[in-house]
Structure 1
Amino acid sequence: MNILIVEDESQIRSTLHDSLQRIGFTDIWMAHDGTQALEMIKSRKFDLILSDIRMPGMDGIALLETVRREYSDILFIVLSGYDLFEYAQKAIRHSAFSYLLKPLSDEDLETVMREALRVLNLKRELFEDELKIKIKLKQGTTALRRQLLTEALNGHADESQLARKCQEYDLEFTHPHYCVWLAGIDNLDELALAMSNPDLELLKYGLENMCSEVFRERGFTAEPFKWEEGVGFLLNSGSLDEKGGFPDIVGQSLALRQMAHTYLKLDIAAAIGSVECSLPAAGNSFDTARRAYAQTIAEPHVDGVYAYRPEEPIQPLLLALDLKLEQELLAVFDSCQFEAGMQFIADRYRIFAKPCSFEIKDVQQLNYHLLILIHKIMSQLGFDPEAVMGEEYYLYTKVNRLKSIAAIIEWFQTLLQSCFDYISERSTRSTKKLVDKAKEFMSAHFHEEIGLELVSEQLHISPEYLSREFKKESGENFIDFLLRLRINKAKEYMRQGNYKTYEIARLVGYHDEKYFSKVFKKTTGFTPSEYRFRNT
């Protein structure tokens, strides 16, 4: 349990802290007076407070009164160095859990703390039991209402029967305006792995309950429906603000995010759909709310609230990868063109650049198409895709857990790099043969304006790949080899004695005689004239 020690004397604070640790408690915080303690209580949930009575500023009794008024579930133990009936009477009147006299022995402290722990566990059990009973009592009608609303918003309900079923399930909307509000739970996948399904549902129920209370306090009708990413509500209101939205819906969303973090330790993102004028049309609000929520992975906001912004009519997205794109990526794989592969991936996700134009399921669909295509291409090239990438379903699950489109692009680019490395290592066109071909081409064309880009183009590979493999195989950089090749050829021409310096410069690929002479001297230590004199 979380324990807060409130004591103005530092030595006593430290002694209490050490005593509690010896007993076996580890989650301990300390404050030097009541005012500091209240600030700490606002930012962290405490189960028990051990507080001195006499302190400067807010004393222990005043702190107890405030805690009982605002945080009634916290157990409060009063510590005093004075055996005065007046203090004990006040502590009892404000429902203090215990009243202890200082100095405390470890035995007395342990006895009280063990009893406090027993009471806290009992309260938690009673709370959980009560909550479970409430859930079971509401499951019947609530489940039917939730199912009907979920079907209606997804366009699966019979509109001719919708009004009758709403009346039958006591689902009443008395106002003319409808808006879908979504609360997506961050790291829901991790929570699902760490918690049992009943516990996760209980957590979502707590979030749903909290949201319901806030919306109804603001005068909205708020009916929950099933949404896989978190909780969803269909809100019903009789008025709109000057912009045509629900009054202060953004402010309420910000407040709910803070409440979820403080009381449930949950981080949520809120999405607000369009305003519609009938229950059958509310499905449009659900569509737009999902599109707004998709901005969590496209352009995340610091405040975590995403409202649908209608800019242009929504156009269907082209998510399938046609034969032309398949052939383009096949050519990239066949020649291990890393930069082209990176660009191919980035280009595919460019369709998600326009805000509120897509849903998260659209991104997941593109993820699936890309994985299938990469598997197919690896097979076409004669390689086992699972040997490099792993099983398709595992990869699909892994990439869909990423929290941003930028992270998805980077993930796919890393996957392509792994594939290219695998192909390069096992290709029949070995690195040695590749470098030999590069050297042959350079030996035949050294007198021309050639460079890394031209040679790599001739070999149908990327410049980056050629540069890396050339250095790895030959032990020297591409440009150093080309320079050495040209200087050696220049030496041969000089030893023949038939050419002038400017002629030799052009014969080995230099159009500027002065620059050639400078490079020659830097490489050999002699000017062309000096070298000619020594070797002819």
Structure 2
Amino acid sequence: MFQLLLVDDEASVVDSLADTLPWHEIGIGTVFKAYSGSEALEILNTNSIDIMMTDIRMPGMNGLELLARVRRSWKKIKCILLSGHAEFSYAQEAIAHDTYEYLLKPISDEEVLLKVGNAVEALQKERDENQSYQRVVKTLEENLPKLRGELLNELLQGMNYSAARLAEKLDMLKMDIVREEPFALLLVRMEGQLSELDLYSLSLMEYAVANMAEEIFEDGFRLWSCKDVHGYLAFVVTLSGEKKAEQASAERFMEEAAGQLRLMASQLQLSVNHYLKGTVSALISKWGVFPHDVKRLYEDSLFSLRRRVGSQSGLLVYVADEMEQMPVHALQRLYEPPLLVHLLESGNWEQTEEKLAAIWEELNRKWADSHEHLVEVFFSIYASFSSYAHKNGRELADMIGPVLSDVAGLTPCRSITALHQWIFQSFRLLQQCMENETRNERENAVRRIQHFVQKHLVENVSLQAIADHMYMHPVHVSRIYKLETGENLSDYVLRLKMEQAAAMLANPALKNYEIALQLGYQNPNYFIKVFKKYYSVTPQEFRLNLDKGEDQ
């Protein structure tokens, strides 16, 4: 959806066009309104405008002057000029400024929609053919292996995606794997002299091993690979299209596929030894269902590697469900991405609280009576809170208080209830402390903005000038000011100017045009119009009212 800016000094014309026409039907998502050239420039500075429709005859900055400014700074905006004067000189100047359309008033709603719709189609065509877009697509294609590997790593670590979101990512990465599809996990550990290589040489060897695996497994299987956080090569192994079609008797067929998988893994070990003069151990999981079993099979493989391979090399292990028989299991929600410390650093308090709730729910459901698990959760969360405090230049005790930050005696770990109270009380204090600091920063920024405006009121107080002074983006300046004061920055500037104008009108020696010039209005008539819109009386009427008040 595109964004449209309507500019006309006749407010009724702008409001009628903006509020009554079915813009969304022609691809316009947002319609901005401006009642002068200066207002239009402020909107252009703070919003991404695609199409601008402006009247020519306006006080102050006319439509052609506005168009010239737009062409200097926003060359891709489609500009449509409206005029009630069928003068060839206007058309000539409009053409010189690369105007998309030049329309004469009066114009019907249907014609307005038609012309803006044509501009939307032209923009869409340009967007589709834009070279930068093509470069992005090409870059994405070039980085597909890396992006695929990152997604697989997230799934191995337990990242939870909704079905729709995961399907979207798989489709974007051109992955031929779907939900409920059977898969096995192959874990390969580089050993011997391969593990002692420098980073560059090791990367080349890993690339070579992955290519070897693709060639060996291509007769019957498809591979999706990555390098995991432990430095192992992990492969999601699925059946090729032909093998899927042969899958008549599922149980017998999967047993045959498992045997073929072990044979090919053995061939991979031999190829690495023969061609790369190195050694690898390979672990093959049982079959699971994608994506539900990815993390479980990965954890089983790591467990088998630690327990059954250890420091030995060149082994081929078929992983059983050994972890399911273990009496004690690790916590899942505590270590699955996104990690607690990363959520804190991102400033996403809502997701951070959800993460804490999920950690505590798992702990309470499975390990409420395990003192070791309580201590593990406490110290992990304490470490995340401390790291966050230190990265913000604070001691944790300064943010949550000396009692909650005191680990002596491990009081929060004495029961599941005590730990719950400590977690969420500490979290809320941490959040409150940071929000107070953010609020103070915003208050200081607003004071600096107001001081600049007051000091330069009769000079340049444009949004860009304020943003340059604050070393901020104009959009950020507008949002901070609105968020903190509830008032638009442009309204604040206007209010100060009108208050100063009212004070200056009390001096009979000052003429209206002199006041206008001193307040930065080059066109006295435009000053009169702005003043009347603000006070509902003209400057002259305002003077008369002042005189009457003094006489009384």
Higher-Rg structure is 1
With normalisation by structure 1, the TM-score equals 0.32
Identify which of structures 1 and 2 has the higher relative contact order when contacts are C-alpha pairs closer than 8 Å and 6+ apart.
2
